[in-house]
Homo-oligomer: A and B are copies of this chain.
Amino acid sequence: MKKLINDPSQVVGEALEGMALAHPGLIRVHRTPDFIMRADGPVRGKVALVSGGGSGHEPMHGGFVGRGMLDAACPGAIFTSPTPDQMLEATKAVDGGVGVLHIVKNYTGDVLNFEMAADLAKEEQINVKAVVTDDDVAVQDSLYTAGRRGVGGTVLAEKICGAAAETGADLDAVTQLCRDVNASVRSMGIALSACTVPHAGKPSFSLGEDEIEFGIGIHGEPGRNRMKHERADQLTEMLMEPIMRDLPFKRGDHALLFVNGMGGTPLIELYVVFRKAASIAAQHGITISRSLVGSYITSLEMAGTSISLLRLDDRMVRYWDAPVVTPALRWGA
């Protein structure tokens, strides 16, 4: 294992210190318990957004803390959900008096830890609501699974809801908007290689020279099935098919197309995927009126991509375009 780290047990903490040094105007880092909050928080009278999850998905979530997006993010160990004390302290630190929304990706660990934190925060008279994102169509959503995972759609929800909160929406409205975004977005991912968790020291699975994992999550775990590697256009068709089927689009719909890199895939390849995904959308009469291309929700150095497609309404477009000032997403200000 060759990584730019000092000690597997110190990676998360040292990266947090690096972030604090790199972005002093945007964020503040709190240690023990670990969380990142916006530099100018808490913002009185504004609904606060708190998210979090295992580390190793950078820039998510810490890179999305700042004006117009998250108020705080709680990083766990690599691929391990953070603990309730982090979430509780973050929630208290950013509470502006009008409620806090927890945006939680649907993984048992994240859900249970955020639940405990919300209970504790409520005991301290903070009005906490939670939305669990579950946009990954790779997983059968049934009584017999932990339910669909929260993946790329979470980034879009955080941006859009962050803008709503920034412009004065109340807790109920931001919560409902977050549910709406989650209900309007679907995602699907593939891995061309595994990643290596520092404390494990070896790849999380191994793939043959022309094998890929189809239907992966973001924790280096195997996917829905293993298959032969294909050309980018064919893989993109396979990714788009369940997305389009699961969230029926009608001709004339507008959508945001998010082509995400898993960490080890060069940007040039993501644009090759974007090209095909956009053309598939166009064939269905869907207008891609907004886009995001880059490695925003990653699995360390895994090679691969995920596609998220969000059906847009005017409100979402307005909030998407609104200013955002975070380490990883920044525009309009």
Contacts and interface: CB of A to CB of B under 8 A. Distances in A.
Interface stretch (A91-99, A268-276, A308-316): A268-276
B212 A2 contact: yes
Nearest to A55: B268
**How many copies of this protein are present in the complex?**
2
A56 B291 CA distance: 22
B300 A301 contact: no
A278 B21 contact: yes
Q: Interface on chain A toward B: helix, strand, loop, or mixed SS?
A: mixed
A332 B59 CA distance: 20
A23 interface: yes
Interface in A1-18: 2-7, 11-12, 14-18
A123 interface: no
A146 interface: no
A264 interface: yes
Contacts of A12: 268
A308 B305 CA distance: 29
Contacts of A295: 267, 295
Interface stretch (A102-110, A131-139, A162-170, A229-237): A229-237
Nearest to A267: B58
Given A11-B272, A22-B274, A23-B291, A267 B2 contact: no
A80 to B, nearest CB: 14
A51 interface: no
Contacts of A325: 331
Contacts of A263: 264, 266
